[in-house]
Amino acid sequence: MKNLIYVFLIFLAVACQKNQSANNSILEKYSYKHEKSSYKSADKTNGNLKDNSLLKLQKEFPDDKLIGLIIIDSTATSDSKRFGLDISNACYACNLGTLKISKDKIYIENYCDSKEVTTFKIIKVVKNEKPFKAQIFTEDATLTFKKDENSLYYTLTVEGKLNTPLIISQFYTSEVDLPSFFIHDCQNFEG
């Protein structure tokens, strides 16, 4: 009987050790380098940016956060009825990334938890006015924002990998323009 207990304890120890190494490899695979920062403490210089296109970009994205949208009604003709707040990622999963573009950094902040922020240094910006298109280059990815002239939303495409655990939406609007779209209160869920 003692031998059976010893065998069981050895088996349990080995199983726990394998489980721990599996957990460590998962943690390494999904660990992200977060640069703790707040918008107010961000460096106000342009860093290594050599042109003033980022200053022009600040006019397009002043001090607003960009909030993720999804298509709610693809048959609607107006943007305000076609798009709405990404409820599943903002309310259920609580992993929707909001974007904030400063003079030399992009901040991706959790919609539910403003303390969870990932920061990316902007290396280069290429911008066109009509139609609006801005390409923002970071070390690992290029973010391309497009916006029609009378539109209240941006279409975002990302080339490369943004090393963040948060969901990056395909469509964004400014925090100021968000009330123009369908917004479901996250606290009104019965689930």
Residue 158, φ and ψ in degrees, nearest 5: -120, 125
Residue closest to 43 by CA, chosen among 105, 132, 126, 130 = 105
**For the chain, how big is the Rg over CA atoms in Å?**
22
Q: Give pTM, 2 decimals.
A: 0.68
pLDDT of 53 reads 58
pLDDT at residue 129, rounded to an integer: 81
Residues 6+ apart with CB under 8 A from 35: 117, 118, 119
pLDDT at position 87 = 81
Q: Encoding tokens for residue 177?
A: 């323009």
Cα(137)–Cα(142) distance, integer angstroms: 4
pLDDT in tens, the chain (191 residues): 656 555 545 544 544 444 444 333 333 333 333 343 333 333 333 444 445 555 666 667 766 799 999 999 999 999 989 999 988 888 788 899 999 998 789 999 998 888 999 999 999 999 888 888 999 999 999 999 999 888 899 999 999 999 999 999 999 999 889 999 988 766 655 54
- Residues 49 and 78: beta-carbon distance below 8 Å: no
Cβ partners under 8 Å of residue 190, min gap 6: none
**DSSP-derived secondary structure letter, 182:** B
The domain ranges of the chain are 1-31, 53-180
